[in-house]
Amino acid sequence: MDRIFIEDLLARGVIGVSDRERSRPQDILVNLTVFTEVQKAEISDDINNCTDYRTIAKKVFSLVENSKRHTVEALATDIANLVLQEPYVRGVKVRVEKPGAVRFSKSAGVEIERYNP
């Protein structure tokens, strides 16, 4: 299966359980691997036969910016469900991180994989 990737998409959203975490947006880092088929696009060289990673990035950014989730698990699932609705997408790996969430670490988060039936 072919893959499209979006690395280190940085957005700001409300995520967390404590009052401090929910009081203001915080940095949320998203990485995506989108499983798709590119054969039709490689033959036609036509954008209409592609999984549009720019559109996906914009939709994910908007989702995160408007998010008010308590857990990164729920946000990752929301992102996966959104991406799975895009044309030609067969599956997606979503990694959501909260930079600085754990003391003495660069970031903490979750990574999930979801597939269309």
Q: How many helices (H) and strands (E) does the chain have?
A: 4, 5
∠ Cα 66 72 76 (to 5°): 75
Q: Which of 58, 59, 98, 106 is catalytic?
A: 98
∠ Cα 85 91 92 (to 5°): 90
Query: From CA 54, how far away is CA 33, in angstroms rounded?
Result: 13
58 is catalytic: no
Residues labelled catalytic: 98
